[in-house]
């Protein structure tokens, strides 16, 4: 079932509607004239107000407030708040030396300017591109990151340059060796970084993944038979506005320009008792540092969320393409730079998948058995950050587990190299003339925990051997081991790294709720195994700008508006001082024991490219789990109907009364004329 919100008013955490965005824009324009709108987004209600409303939705509803960031022609930047009900601008603040997020429109502008810039044309000619071929020159505009030569007073982009001999070619196979700097206010190229050693345009044959390219290389394989996934009775979830209910879960699906999907007020109905789990869950930031130390590659360390926005860059998804079965979509609405509305149709897809076996057990004595299949709910967005794509899946399991999963695909960022050149190990030649630099994708998961209530405590858990030596009375056979639990009392204590050897996890505990059997606190365990260290060194530019990535876990006391751990305005920050999380952690002395806390978890991959990743990269998944431990009285999924269940007494009674709900649509792969199973030993004849 889908339904509109039960009343006409939006849920307080619903994104601003197009009408609300337009209303905020109109108010601001009226007050301040023509502006460029970088952000018009929901200013989320203060938690104290929101909590009151959640407890009693008939009580006073949090106000709808627009968070507005504008650039005045000429370059001045203002942060504002607009109260939509009263139509008043409640805040209007000039920013100094801060650059707001780059919009798609700002990105798109750069290429056109580059193509016409005489100095860029000159560099293209030097690279071997004819002047009349400038329409074959492309650029991926990135924020400049931070470059001390240029500072942060002027709004800048760096243009990573490529040549595409044919409009349909993969863009990243002919990189150019120079890098123009674009001034967003002037709409001009103000500088070009030119390497000392020049590298002419590669003469390699093009390699392409589009149909013409594949046909040329031998054509498509025709060996795949269809797998159909259908849901004839529809889906198992209900949607009311942006609130979804599925298999005891209930949560609100927000979306903003910055983080994309935001999951709010996640609860689990535990046998009639609706238990809060997370107040807010999102991917809050990421950084992609590249490992080539040569200037200007140090500037390649994109904060894709803070600098470009996972919402702004999100794909419009297609039915029967990005996922299969019965799909529910949610659209996204954003301002255009000029003050109109941009709608991204199908920005979020929601669907179920069969999850394989949920649990199984056979009694070896009589082969009495239970097999129960699992179901997953997936809330997904996919965003394109220039060359890369990130498919962000929030996977909900019936057993109370939440599994954020990120699938990396798209195309490597590339730089040109002479065939004879040494990469010095900072990159890999993935195709003749194409150097794909080493990089990391480090994501920051923001966990605003609410495990059985707002007051939570984080423990670090390490599986360790007993200290007692082999042969001692306490550990005679040497096999003793247990979970060592370390409580984080203060913010400072919480800055911790992963330890694979001890299978380290971090437990979000409610120490006020002890399990009746285990005596341990109700908890959600963060199980995350892909947790590389930040490889840019301590004191480096990236280390300073991406303070959140210094450790796998940091914990802070909840504060309204502390949402984005690299800071609110990320482009061109110098990291001196570090914005966001390091600021909020302050001297580390604040208590985080049994209070409203936020856990910031940085995880990801270190990617040393290989030719298999080029010219387009097969999906590389990264995943982690938030698992209930000592939270439920016992296994919470025993009431999921089994596919098959026979008990010993039913086996003894020759199968009378067994539960048989096996999937009758499943078939043997191969059958002979009599419909009988034909495996290798009794199959049909003939070679395949």
Residue with Cβ nearer a second copy (403 or 490): 403
> Contacts with a second copy: how many residues (CB under 8 A)?
229
Picking from 310, 271, 596, the residue whose alpha carbon sits closest to that of residue 441 is 310
Identify the residue among 115, 337, 515, 557 touching a second copy (CB under 8 A). Answer: 515
**Tally of CB atoms within 10 A around 338:** 11
The reply to whether omega before 99 is within 30° of 0 (cis) is no
Q: How far is the CB of 89 from a second copy (least distance, A)?
A: 26
Contact at 8 Å (CB) between 177 and 162?
A: no
- Residues numbered 477-506 forming contacts with a second copy, rule: CB under 8 A: 477-483, 497-503
Cβ partners under 8 Å of residue 661, min gap 6: 641, 642, 643, 644
CA distance 254 to 263: 6
Window 258-277: residues binding a second copy (CB under 8 A): 271
In terms of DSSP bridges, do strands 2-3 and 238-240 run parallel, antiparallel, or are they unpaired? parallel
Residues 379-408 contacting a second copy, CB under 8 A: 382, 384, 386-387, 389, 391, 397-401, 407
Stretch that binds a second copy, among 56-64, 258-266, 433-441, 451-459 (CB under 8 A): 433-441
Question: Is residue 463 within the footprint of a second copy (CB under 8 A)?
Answer: yes
Q: Which is nearer to a second copy, 33 or 500 (CB)?
A: 500
**Binds a second copy (CB under 8 A): choice among 273, 654, 674, 685:** 685
- Assigned token pair, 257: 């320009």
Residue listed under structure tokens 């059958």: 671
Catalytic residue selected from 388, 415, 498, 524: 388
Which region, judged by CB under 8 A, interacts with a second copy, from 51-59, 67-75, 91-99, 430-438? 430-438
Structure tokens at 607: 């990617």
Q: Minimum Å distance from CB 221 to a second copy?
A: 5
Stretch that binds a second copy, among 53-61, 94-102, 581-589, 637-645 (CB under 8 A): 637-645
Taking contact as CB under 8 A, which single stretch among the options 76-84, 257-265, 352-360, 562-570 is the one that binds a second copy? 352-360
Residues within window 136-165 making contact with a second copy, judged by CB under 8 A = 138
CA 579: distance to chain centroid?
21
Binding residues for a second copy restricted to 14-33, rule: CB under 8 A = 17
Report the nearest approach of a second copy to the CB of residue 659 (Å): 6
Q: How far is the CB of 48 from a second copy (least distance, A)?
A: 27
Nearest-angstrom CA–CA distance, 152 and 289 = 20
Say if residues 138 and 113 touch (Cβ distance below 8 Å).
Answer: no
Residue 131 CB, nearest approach to a second copy (Å) = 22
Q: Which of the residues 578 through 597 are near a second copy (CB under 8 A)? A: none
Min. distance of Cβ 69 from a second copy in angstroms? 21
Site for a second copy, residues 303 to 342, rule: CB under 8 A: 313, 315-316, 318-331
- Tell me, what DSSP letter sits at residue 677? B
Binding mask 221-260 for a second copy (x = CB under 8 A): xxxxxxxxxxxxxxxxxxxxxx--x-x-------------
Catalytic annotation on 329? Answer: no
In terms of Cα–Cα distance, which of 596, 610, 28 is closest to 279? 596
Q: Is 205 in the site for a second copy (CB under 8 A)?
A: no
Write out the binding residues for a second copy, residues 645-684 only, by CB under 8 A.
645, 647-650, 652, 659, 662-670, 677-684
Stretch that binds a second copy, among 47-55, 76-84, 207-215, 592-600 (CB under 8 A): 207-215
Query: Torsion angle of alpha carbons 636, 592, 560, 35, nearest 10°?
Result: -110
Question: In terms of DSSP H, where are the helices of 87-219?
Answer: 104-116, 118-127, 211-216
- Cis link prior to 296 (omega < 30° from 0)? yes
For residues 529, 535, 539, 540, the Cα torsion angle rounded to the nearest 10 degrees is -130
d(CA 58, CA 49): 13
Rounded to whole angstroms, how far apart are CA atoms 624 and 430?
30
Whether 127 and 155 have beta carbons less than 8 Å apart is answered as no
Cβ proximity to a second copy: between 38 and 51 the closer is 38
State the CB neighbour count (10 A cutoff) for residue 582: 20
Question: Which 69-128 positions form the footprint of a second copy (CB under 8 A)?
Answer: 104, 107-108, 111
- Residue pair 630/518 in contact (Cβ under 8 Å)? The answer is yes
CA angle 354-359-363, nearest 5°?
Answer: 140
Tell me whether residue 532 or residue 588 sits nearer to a second copy (CB atom).
532
Backbone angle region of 364, left / alpha / beta, with phi > 0 → left and psi within -120 to 50 → alpha:
alpha
CB of 242 to a second copy, least distance (A): 5
168 binds a second copy (CB under 8 A): yes
Contact pick of 23, 41, 127, 171 for a second copy (by CB under 8 A): 171
Is residue 688 close enough to count as binding a second copy by CB under 8 A? yes
The reply to whether 270 belongs to the active site is no
Q: How far is the CB of 412 from a second copy (least distance, A)?
A: 11
Under DSSP, is residue 359 helix (H, G, I), strand (E, B) or coil?
A: strand
Check binding of 686 to a second copy (CB under 8 A). Answer: yes
Among 117, 177, 304, 448, the one annotated catalytic: 304
Hey, which residues between 530 and 549 contact a second copy (CB under 8 A)?
530-533, 535-543
- What's the min distance (Å) between Cβ of 61 and a second copy? 18
In angstroms, give the least distance from the CB of 441 to a second copy. Answer: 12
Alpha helices in 421-550 (DSSP H): 541-545
Residues with active-site annotation: 304, 388
């Amino acid at each position: 079932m889908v339904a509109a919100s039960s009343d006409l008013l939006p849920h307080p955490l619903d994104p601003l509607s197009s009408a609300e965005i337009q209303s905020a824009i109109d108010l601001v324009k009226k007050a301040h004239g023509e502006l460029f709108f970088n952000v018009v987004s929901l200013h989320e209600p203060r938690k104290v107000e929101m909590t009151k409303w959640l407890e009693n939705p008939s009580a006073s509803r949090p106000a709808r407030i627009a968070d507005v960031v504008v650039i005045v022609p000429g370059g001045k930047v203002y942060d504002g708040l607009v109260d939509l009900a009263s139509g008043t601008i409640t805040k209007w603040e000039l920013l100094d030396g801060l650059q707001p997020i780059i919009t798609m429109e700002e990105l798109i502008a750069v290429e056109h300017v580059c193509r016409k810039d005489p100095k860029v044309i000159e560099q293209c000619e030097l690279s071997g591109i004819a002047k009349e071929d400038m329409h074959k020159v492309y650029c991926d505009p990135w924020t400049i990151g931070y470059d001390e030569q240029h500072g942060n007073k002027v709004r800048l982009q760096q243009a990573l340059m490529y040549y595409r001999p044919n409009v349909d070619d993969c863009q990243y196979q002919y990189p150019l060796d120079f890098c123009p700097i674009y001034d967003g206010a002037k709409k001009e190229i103000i500088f070009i970084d030119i390497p000392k050693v020049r590298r002419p345009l590669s003469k390699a044959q093009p390699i392409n993944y589009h149909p013409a390219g594949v046909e040329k290389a031998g054509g498509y394989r025709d060996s795949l038979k269809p797998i159909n996934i259908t849901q004839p009775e529809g889906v198992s979830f209900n949607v009311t506005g942006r609130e979804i209910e599925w298999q005891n879960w209930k949560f609100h699906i927000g979306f903003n320009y910055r983080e994309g999907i935001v999951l709010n007020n996640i609860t689990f109905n535990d046998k009639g008792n609706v238990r809060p789990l997370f107040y807010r869950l999102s991917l809050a930031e990421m950084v992609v540092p590249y490992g080539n130390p040569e200037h200007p590659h140090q500037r390649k360390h994109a904060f894709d969320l803070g600098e470009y926005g996972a919402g702004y860059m999100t794909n419009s998804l297609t039915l029967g393409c990005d996922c299969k079965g019965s799909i529910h979509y949610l659209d996204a609405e954003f301002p255009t730079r000029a003050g109109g509305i941009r709608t991204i149709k199908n920005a979020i897809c929601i669907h179920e998948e069969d999850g394989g076996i949920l649990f199984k057990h056979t009694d070896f004595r009589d082969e009495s058995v239970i097999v129960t299949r699992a179901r997953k709910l997936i809330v997904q967005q996919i965003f394109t950050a220039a060359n890369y794509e990130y498919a962000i899946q929030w996977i909900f399991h019936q057993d109370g587990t939440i599994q954020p999963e990120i699938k990396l695909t798209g195309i490597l960022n590339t730089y040109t190299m002479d065939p004879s050149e040494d990469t010095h190990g900072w990159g890999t030649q993935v195709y003749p003339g194409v150097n794909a630099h080493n990089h990391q994708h480090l994501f920051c998961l923001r966990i605003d925990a609410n495990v059985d209530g707002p007051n939570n405590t984080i423990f670090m858990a390490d599986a360790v051997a007993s200290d007692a030596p082999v042969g001692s009375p306490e550990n005679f056979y040497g096999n003793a081991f247990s979970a060592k639990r370390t409580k984080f009392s203060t913010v400072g204590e919480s800055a911790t790294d992963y330890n694979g050897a001890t299978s380290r996890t971090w437990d979000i505990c409610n120490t006020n709720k002890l399990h009746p059997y285990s005596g341990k606190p109700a908890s959600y365990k963060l199980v995350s195994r892909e947790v590389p260290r930040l490889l840019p060194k301590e004191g480096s530019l990236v280390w300073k700008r991406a303070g959140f990535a210094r450790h796998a876990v940091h914990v802070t006391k909840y504060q309204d508006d502390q949402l984005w751990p690299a800071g609110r305005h990320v482009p061109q920050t110098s990291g001196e001082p570090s914005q966001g999380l390091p600021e909020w952690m302050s001297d580390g002395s604040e208590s985080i024991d049994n209070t409203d806390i936020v856990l910031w978890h940085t995880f990801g991959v270190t990617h040393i490219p290989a030719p298999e990743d080029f010219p387009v990269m097969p999906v590389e998944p990264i995943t982690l789990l938030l698992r209930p431990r000592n939270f439920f009285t016992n296994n919470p999924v025993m009431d999921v109907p089994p596919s098959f269940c026979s008990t010993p007494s039913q086996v003894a009674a020759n199968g009378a009364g067994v539960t048989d709900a096996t999937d009758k649509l499943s078939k043997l792969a191969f059958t002979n004329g009599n419909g009988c199973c034909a495996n290798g030993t009794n199959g049909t004849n003939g070679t395949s």
